Amino acid sequence: MKSSIIVFPGSNCDRDVAVALEKFKISHQMVWHNETSLPKTDLVILPGGFSYGDYLRTGCIASKSPIIEDVIKHAKKGGLILGICNGFQILIETDLLPGVLLRNKKLRFLSKNVFLKVINVENHFCINFNKKSIIKLPIAHNEGNYFADNKILQNLEDNNLIAFKYCDEKGNINKDSNPNGSSNNIAGILNSDKNILGMMPHPERLIDPILSGEDGSMMFKSLLKSQ
């Protein structure tokens, strides 16, 4: 599997993603945002960070950068795209995923580990997870409060397009286990063809016991398995 990590000014998780990909022997190239075409690639990763200093709206300026046109083409051809944190915000601003990410309900930057329930395992990113399993991943964001109108939420629920929901240690999905106020406790969603995943938690940060856990490994193993 060949992958491309798009690097924007202000990206700061691009190298973490690269380390994770290297660990799982997925070849990768760093692609600068000013490039106009992607190298031959199966997977595009939009990493976390603060692209363009979060100017205007999070992910907004990045969604208009030169490389994005080719990323959209890659998406339309069925190529895989994984947007993590700021990458998720960029996917939303690019209209590749529906809804918006508002400021966290309590207006605080959140940096902590959270529990997630894996809702959909029938996609390239999650086939190695067990359905309804509870995993632990870190979040680090200020704008992760997923919001969409009822029609969009209903469509996500009905078509099984929600990949992860915030839950507690026991798997309860409720207000108390919702860190940022997201509608329906949504932490990550897929597009209708399930070739695009946007998620606020960071799988690349928990890929080794030395980093206090390796639940994130499953995503990279899934990607390897799905090729």
Partner 1 sequence: MKISATVTLKKEVLDPQGKVVSQTLKNMGYKNIISVRQGKYFKIELNETDKEKAKKIVEEISKKLLTNIVTEDYTIDLD
The catalytic site residues sit at 85, 202, 204
Applying CB under 8 A, which of residues 49, 83, 87, 99 lies at the interface with partner 1? 99
Nearer to partner 1, 133 or 142 (CB): 142
Applying CB under 8 A, which of residues 93, 143, 204, 215 lies at the interface with partner 1? 93
Residue 61 Cβ vs partner 1, minimum distance, rounded to whole Å: 9
Applying CB under 8 A, which of residues 103, 160, 208, 226 lies at the interface with partner 1? 103
Residue 219 Cβ vs partner 1, minimum distance, rounded to whole Å: 28
57 touches partner 1 (CB under 8 A)? yes
19 touches partner 1 (CB under 8 A)? no
What are the CA-CA distances from residue 213 to residues 109, 137, 139 (Å)? 22, 8, 14
Residue 146 Cβ vs partner 1, minimum distance, rounded to whole Å: 12
What is the C-alpha separation between 171 and 135, in angstroms, rounded?
A: 9
Q: Report yes or no: 38 and 70 within 8 Å, Cβ to Cβ.
A: yes
| Residue 148-187 contact track with partner 1, rule CB under 8 A, x = bound | x---------------------------------------
DSSP per-residue letters across the chain: -EEEEEE-TTB-SHHHHHHHHHHTT-EEEEEETT-SSPPS-SEEEE--B-GGGG-SSTTTTGGGSTTHHHHHHHHHTT-EEEEETHHHHHHHHTTSS-SEEEPPTTS--EEEEEEEEE---SSTTTTTSPTT-EEEEEEEESS-EEE--HHHHHHHHHTT-EEEEEE-TT---SGGG-SS--GGGEEEEE-TTS-EEEESS-GGG-SBGGGTB-TTHHHHHHHHHH-
134 touches partner 1 (CB under 8 A)? no
Applying CB under 8 A, which of residues 25, 77, 107, 169 lies at the interface with partner 1? 107
64 touches partner 1 (CB under 8 A)? yes
Residue 144 Cβ vs partner 1, minimum distance, rounded to whole Å: 14
109 touches partner 1 (CB under 8 A)? no
24 touches partner 1 (CB under 8 A)? no
What are the residues binding partner 1 (CB under 8 A)? 56-57, 60, 64, 93, 99-100, 102-103, 107, 147-148
